[in-house]
Copies of this chain bind each other. A is one copy, B any other.
Amino acid sequence: MLAKTPSPPYYAVIFTSLRTDIDAGYEEMAEEMVHLAALQPGYLGHESARSGLGITISYWESLEAIRAWKVNSDHLIAQRYGREKWYSNFKTRIALVERDYGMNAE
């Protein structure tokens, strides 16, 4: 469940959100977006957790790959529904991963 990302540098899109109480269509959209993102060129993986606050991080080879996903037509619809219905607040941060290390000092 931890994303298997390559050696840095690569990009992370950190999406932090608070949900409204509107559930209609949300889970289906979230699953579909994970599925579609994974088909995009330059996609490297994703990690997600929610306990009140939701955090989803997707990893990408380049800013160009992130831009292409941002303007994907199905993703644009999901983003509009997100603003209008599903999220009471969110923040998206685009970040360059410069260094990483893991459990066994990998």
Number of copies: 2
Given contacts A48-B53, A55-B49, contact A12 B102 (CB under 8 A): no
In the assembled complex, the CB of A92 is this many whole angstroms from the nearest CB of chain B, namely 6
Interface status of A2 (Cβ within 8 A of chain B): yes
Q: Could you tell me if A99 and B90 are in contact, using CB atoms closer than 8 angstroms? A: no
Contacts of A100 in B (CB 8 A): 91-94
Contact between A14 and B53, CB atoms less than 8 A apart: no
Interface size class of A (residues with CB under 8 A): 35 or more
* Most chain B CB within a 10 A radius of its CB, from A3, A16, A95: A95
Chain B residues contacting A103 (CB-CB under 8 Å) are 83, 87-91
Q: 17 new A-B pairs (CB below 8 Å) besides A8-B93, A14-B14? A: A1-B52, A2-B16, A2-B90, A3-B16, A12-B14, A12-B95, A48-B53, A49-B51, A49-B54, A83-B103, A89-B102, A89-B103, A90-B103, A93-B97, A93-B99, A95-B96, A95-B98
